[in-house]
Amino acid sequence: MPGTFTAASRGQLEADAPLGEIPNLIGDIRHLIPKYGLRNYWYPAISEHKVPKTRPVRVSMLGEDLVFFRNKAGEPMALQDVCPHRGARFSQGHIHWPGTIACPYHGWVYDENGKNIMVLSEGPESKVCGKSGTEAYVYPTRTLKGVVFAWIGDTKPAPIEEDVPPEFFDDGAYITWNDHVHWPTNWLVALENSMDSHVAYLHRDNIQALLGADNVGARGASGYRPIFTGNGFKAGRASTPASAGGSGVSAQDIYPDGYKWPKKHNRKFWTWFFVIPFSLLRAPAPPTYDDNWWGTGHRLPGMFRAGAGGSRVQPKGLFSFFRKGGSGLFGQYTRWPVALGPWTTRLWYFHYTRPRNIFQRWYYKFVYNVWGRWAVEYNFSIQDGSMMFNQRYDWPEKLSGHDAEVIQWRRLVVSKAYGGRYAQYGYDHDKDGKGIDERKVEAPTGIFSKDSVPGNEIAAG
Ligand code: FES
Ligand SMILES: [Fe+2]
């Protein structure tokens, strides 16, 4: 049960201790998905500038309540937002002295190690003060590039470099971000949104997509084979050629009865109109550090990365000249949904660029604030939201070959939720005999084929 851990019972196990039996991963396994996201991972919790020096602030995520304040050195830190005395909330309390927090009820004061150092309602001779069992749980936290990450789990923390993208540890990296977007949907619904074929249709009139002209329609009949990379999936080669707008294929599809799609070519006009001004508003995505672990695709504990290595909306010819260096998602793009509740998700958007000098850095910051943030996080994402917020996630599904990654992601998530963060990914749990050592990321072998998913109906491919 989330939120019921005491300091004494928590953080004793090593992070690689196996948790338990992984269920059979056949058929619809949505009911096995943890509603609050995967525990025992690092997550972005709060922007550093939102942790005041003079008062505590509460953050609820993954079904837990955290209280953030600053330690003696002025760095953000977090305790469980429940006073060990009788359960009042530290977040309503006070910072009387730097690096301490006083519970508002009976004045038990805690230091940055979670130790009870004073009981203000009982005086200096208090018999309970500092007694064993009065400790508050201290969340492992780390502040990187202005973002405070927290380990949400029951074990000792795993190395943060396994969960947080490498640009956060890179002095030359510049990261702009947005932590304001909240979606009234489940975290996995939010993540699955970027795993399918909707871009070609739903986003066809998105302002960025205008630059792709009729290429917005680029798609294949049976989708991409997701390749397991150790911490998630990247898209493999398309298993069938792209349809309209794809390279070398007609820009308009003809359906039975002569129906044409797209109906008109007016998007091409907009592309010509906007290509030069838009080229000034781009920020190139730097090369990835390791395409398997951190390139375009989905990564544990649940983020979407795009930008480096191209995107699904790619122009050709002259357009590509103006579109050098990225997909228009502003640098390398990471969208990381974090469950605040079962049906409330905060979307963290990170954009990684590599400015050559301070002027370029200002320029990127300026362009992001006046344009990039709106175009990507709102204009683009709102179209997604308008679908997801009303989506029936409890309804039986009829999946297409384009949903292949959705199926594999659910298996990955359930494997980790039940078996622990180092549990083997569940290819072998459908008894197809294909065991995969996921730690060997140099040679990904987990290529998905429709034959490996009995119980899931693949309509195409
Ligand atoms: S409940 Fe916190 S001091 Fe009593
Ligand atoms: Fe989308």
Chunked mean pLDDT (size 10), the chain, 461 residues: 55 80 86 94 98 97 97 97 97 98 98 97 97 96 98 94 95 95 93 86 71 52 76 73 51 86 77 75 83 89 81 50 60 94 94 94 94 86 88 87 87 92 68 37 30 30 26
Q: Whose CA is nearest to atom 3 of ligand 1?
A: 106
Regarding the beta carbon of 88 and ligand 1, being less than 6 Å apart is answered yes
Residues of the domain holding 112: 47-152
> 299: closest CA among 435, 449, 167, 459?
167
What spacing in Å lies between the alpha carbon of 305 and ligand 2's midpoint?
13
**Does the beta carbon of 83 lie inside 6 Å of ligand 1?**
yes
Distance 211 CA to ligand 2 centre (A): 16
What does pTM read for this prediction?
0.86
What number does the ligand 1 atom closest to the CA of 106 have?
3
Ligand 1 pocket mutation pick from 65, 67, 83, 91 by most atoms within 8 angstroms of CB: 83
Q: Of 152, 179, 214, which closes a domain?
A: 152
Q: Which of 106, 118, 131 to mutate to test the pocket of ligand 1 (most atoms within 8 A of CB)?
A: 106
How much is the pLDDT for 159? 93
User: What pLDDT score was predicted for residue 426?
Assistant: 64
Tell me: do 313 and 414 sit in the same domain. yes
Nearest-angstrom CA–CA distance, 59 and 67: 6
The closest-lying atom of ligand 1 relative to the alpha carbon of residue 121 is: 3
> Regarding beta strands 224-228 and 232-238, do their DSSP bridges make them parallel or antiparallel, or are they unpaired?
antiparallel
Task: Compute, in angstroms, the gap from residue 194 CA to the centroid of ligand 2.
Answer: 6
Query: Bridge-partner residues for 346, per DSSP?
Result: 182, 338
Measuring CA to CA, which residue among 123, 332, 310, 134 is closest to residue 235? 310
Name the domain boundary from 129, 152, 175: 152
Any ligand 1 atom below 6 A from CB of 120: no
Instruction: Please tell me whether residues 137 and 28 are part of one structural domain.
Output: no
Q: Shortest CA distance to 196 belongs to which of 328, 298, 310, 344?
A: 298
* CATH assignment of the domain containing 36: 3.90.380.10
Residues 134 and 228 in one domain: no
Ligand 1 site, residue 103, Cβ cutoff 6 A: yes
Domains held by the chain: number: 2
pLDDT at 179: 96
The answer to whether 68 and 56 have CB atoms below 8 angstroms apart is yes
- Is 1 part of any domain? no
pLDDT of residue 12: 77
